[in-house]
Each structure stands twice: as C-alpha cells, then as structure tokens.
Amino acid sequence: MAPSEPAALRTGRARAQRGVERALARVVTLTERGRRAEGDLIGAKEAMDAGRWQDAARGWIGARRHPLPTVRATADLMLGLVLTDHLGQPDHGMHALDSAWRSNRPGVADAAAWRLAELNAERGDGARAHRFYDWTWRNGRSALRWKAAAALIRLLRAEGDDAGATRLFASVDRAAAAANSAEGWATLATLCRQQGDLDRAEAGYRAALDAGAGDAAALHGLLGLVLSRQGRSAAALPELEVAVAGDTTGRIWFQYELGKVQERLGHRDQACDAYSDVLQVTDDELSRLQEQDEPGRDTVIRSDPRPRAAIRLGRLRESMGEVDAARDALAYATDHGTTSVAAAAWLARARLERRVGDRSAARAGYANAIHVKGGAYPAAELGLAQLLIVANQSAAAQQILDRLVGCGDQRIASLAAVQRGELLSALGDTAAARASYEAALAGPLSAGVRARVEQALSR
C-alpha cells in the first residue's frame, strides 16, 4: 500500500491548481470581447481621473461586458456612482447600483447598498433606505457596515422607534467589542457624542485609537472635541494639536476648536493664530473637505467655521488693543456668515465702536444687526436704546425699551427695565421708574446691576 501524501504537498498542489485557474481566467480576457472590455475599463478610469464623466459612463458601460464577474460588478457600481453623483441621472444610476448590489461581490455589494440607502433616504423613501442600511449592516464586509448601522440608528430614532434604535446600538456595541474594530468603536463614539453621552464617547474614541484606526489624526481631533465639551481644556489641547498637525480631512474644524481651547486657557496669541489659520481656507478647499469623509462625520463638523472663527478673532484682537485688526475680522464675519452669525458680528462691531468712542459707527452697527436679523434683535436694540439716551432722544429710546421689557429673553428684558427706570427717573416720573426697577429685580441681573437698582430704589 502506497504511503499517504504529506499534508504540505497536498496544500502546495491545491495552491498550484488555484494559480492555474486564475491564469485560465486571465486568458479569457484575451478574447476579442475581453480585450474590448479591458480597454473600456482602462478608458473609464482615465476619464474619471480627468473628470470627463460622460466618457467615464460610456467606458463603464463597455466594461460591463467583461468576462470576469467581479469586474462586471465593479463596472455596475462605478457606472451607478457616475450617473447619480455627476450626471444627474439617479433613476438609471440606481438601476446600475441595484445590479452591483445583487452581484453579492465582497466590497462591491455593500458599497452599492450603502449608496442605494443614501439615495432612497434623500428621496424620502424611508422603507427602502431602511432595507439597504440594514443589509449593509448585516452583510457588509467593509467599514461601510458601521456607517450603515449609525445611519440606521438615526433613521429609527427619526421614525420614533427608540426601542429599535436602542437594540441596534447594543448590537453594534457587542460587535465592535467582539471584533475590536476601530471603525466600530469610532461609530459608537460618534453616536454617543451626538446623544450627549460624552463619557462613553471619550471611551469609544480611545478604544478606536487603541485598535489602530486608519485616520488616527481625525480620531484624536474627535476625542479633543469631546474633552473640550466636557470643559477639560488642558486634556483637549494635545489631542487637537495632533489632529491639526496630521493630514486629516477634518483639520479646519479641529483648528477652530483648538482656537477655542487656547482662548479658554488664556493663550490669546495661540488662539489668534488658530483662528487666523481657519480663515486662510478658501471656498474651494472647504467644499472639497465637506465632500470628503472621515471617522465620525456629522453636521457638527460639516458647517463652515470661518465666520464664527472671525468673530472670536475680532473679539480677541479688540481685547488686545488691536482695533483695526478686530474690525477686519468682524467685517469678514458680517460678509460671509449666516444670518445669525452676521448679526452677531454687527453687534460685536457696534460694541467695539462704542467702546472706542465712535457713536455714529456704533449706531450704524446696531442698526445693521437689527436689519440682518429681520427687524428684531433684542441685544442690539438694547444697545441702540442706550445710544439714543446719550443722544438725548428719550422718546425713541423709551419706545424701544417699552417693547424690550416684554421680550422673551429674560436677561434682556430685565436690563431694559433697568434702563427704562433710569430714563424715567431722569424725566422725573418717579412712580413709573420705581415700578420699572421692581420689575427688573424679578429677573436675572448681575450682582453689580442688582446693587445699582436696589440703591436707586432706596433713594
């Protein structure tokens, strides 16, 4: 009886056989049809690199005839992405993506399912979005499965299914721990951060870093965000410095947070440098960053931080006696900020001008702040009333103050009542002044203002 074949020899022969099979599969591509499909594949990639989306679509259509199933599935995926993301043909694109998903090819099917989920969510088809997110979470073999789980949890909460979201969160928690997945830990951490559970978010980001995350700089930045929101500025500082020094797509948002941390720590020069670096980012650069992805992507680090950085920079420059630099920074915020940010910048500019003694510029700043806000901005109206009193325009000032004492902002209402009391007292209406002072004391006032009111009442 012949001796049995050694296991190592059997393994070697099996590997050789697989090599022969791969070689034969490659020979198939050398047929006329295969050569054309191979050429289309190369052409599609070159067209995409050059941004020639119509040519890329034609190339991927040709590549769908490729003899190898994986290449055909990839061509379906890429065609779908080109049609939906660049050529404005979502219906045709979704058909191609559906074919890629049905191929069940690793790395292709989950990418197609993820994009189909996003497209259906954008269309308001929650049921189909739910289906594809769920498939990606359960069957995906890439980092997309964690992103799909996070999206599905948010979708469940939006639908009011808090119990389902809680169950899925627990499943993701168990899976991340079992796999010690950096992507899984980062997903959990971001979900916790969005829910305000900062302690668990911190633990999740640290676990993701320990597990060897790919974009470690971004995770250091996200950890820095959490520590900053916990009020732990000293601990947040080195994390954010690592993120800013690293080549991560979230750098501008971490730079802005770094400025805030430096400011809270009393490092005014370093804070100014950080805010100035944020302002150096161009519109095109910001657009590219917003289109890119990183661990923990969400709306918090998707918005434009430059106008808010400009306001903070302006206030810092003013505190350092650099009035012209402060004006320049605030002007950027008034020109580029959203309605609320631009109005806040005008308010800051008005207060600056008032402090340096330019009442005309201050009055214009208050008026612009009120206008930008749509005609009602209690903080700016209060400042304008103060200037009107100084200018001996008592009737106009009292009209504003009468309105402000009934506004929804209790702090502004109380301050307006104080100012109205002082104005009425100066006009000789003692009884009305006393009533206004007493109304002011019922609201929130600083110790100094409260003492001033109590002294006025005692006279």
pLDDT, one tens digit per residue, over 26-39 is 555 456 777 788 88
CB 83 within 8 A of CB 96: yes
Could you tell me the residue ranges of all domains in the chain? 180-299
Question: What gap in Å lies between CA 37 and CA 59, rounded to an integer?
Answer: 9
129-138 — which CB contacts under 8 Å span 24+ positions?
Answer: 129/155, 130/155, 132/101, 135/101, 136/110, 137/168
23 versus 359: the higher-pLDDT residue is: 359
- Report the alpha-carbon distance of residue 424 to residue 405 in Å, rounded: 14
Mean pLDDT score, 202-216: 89
What CA–CA distance (Å, rounded) separates 384 from 390? 10
Over 70: is that where the pLDDT of 331 sits?
Answer: yes
User: pLDDT per residue over 179-189, tens digit each?
Assistant: 888 889 998 99
- 41 pLDDT higher than 50: yes
Q: How confident is the model at residue 295 (pLDDT cuts 50, 70, 90)?
A: very low
Helices (H), 320-377: 323-336, 339-355, 359-372
Residue that is written with structure tokens 């591509």 in the block: 29
User: Over 80: is that where the pLDDT of 22 sits?
Assistant: no
The pLDDT, as a whole number, for residue 268 is: 96
Which is more confident, 8 or 92?
A: 92
114-139 mean pLDDT: 92
CA-based torsion, 295, 297, 300, 301: positive or negative: positive
Specify the pLDDT at position 58.
94
Q: Give the number of other Cβ atoms within 10 Å of residue 32's Cβ.
A: 7
Average pLDDT, the chain: 88
pLDDT of residue 459: 79
Q: What is the mean pLDDT of residues 163-167?
A: 92
Residue 195 pLDDT: 87
Residue-wise pLDDT tens digits, 227-277: 999 999 999 999 999 999 987 777 889 999 999 999 999 999 999 999 999
Q: Predicted confidence band at 296 (pLDDT cuts at 50, 70, 90)?
A: very low
Are the C-beta atoms of residues 385 and 419 closer than 8 Å to each other?
A: yes
Residue appearing with tokens 């804070």: 271
The single-letter DSSP state of residue 216 is H
Please give the pLDDT value at position 55. 95
Report the CATH number of the 180-299 domain: 1.25.40.10
Residue 1 has pLDDT above 60, yes or no: no
> Would you give the DSSP letter of residue 6?
P
Share of the chain above pLDDT 70, in %: 90
pLDDT confidence tier of residue 299, bands split at 50, 70 and 90: very low
- Evaluate whether 416 touches 386 at the Cβ level (below 8 Å): no
pLDDT at 212: 85
pTM of the complete model: 0.77
The alpha carbon dihedral of 220, 223, 227, 228 has a sign of positive
Strand, coil or helix: 46: helix
